[in-house]
Amino acid sequence: MTTIDIYNHNVPAESDFGYSQAIKSGDLIHVSGQLSLDKVGEFLYADDFAAQLKQTYVNLDKVLNHYRVTRNQVVSQTLYVVNLRQNATATAEGNLAYFGDHRPASTVLGVTELTFPGQVIEISFVVDTRLPA
C-beta atoms surrounding 61 within 10 Å = 14
Beta-bridged to residue 101, according to DSSP, are none
Beta bridge partners of 110: 81
Q: What is the pLDDT of residues 66-92, one digit of tens each?
A: 999 999 999 999 999 999 999 999 999
Average pLDDT (98-109) is 97
CB atoms within 10 A of CB 5: 12
What's residue 95's pLDDT? 97
Orientation of helix 49-66 relative to helix 84-99, angle to 10°: 40
Per-residue pLDDT tens digits for 14-26 = 888 899 999 999 9
pLDDT at 19: 93
Instruction: Report the pLDDT averaged over residues 88-104.
Output: 97
C-alpha dihedral sign at 49, 51, 56, 57: positive
Calpha distance 29→129 (Å, rounded) = 8
The CA distance from 93 to 113, in Å, is 22
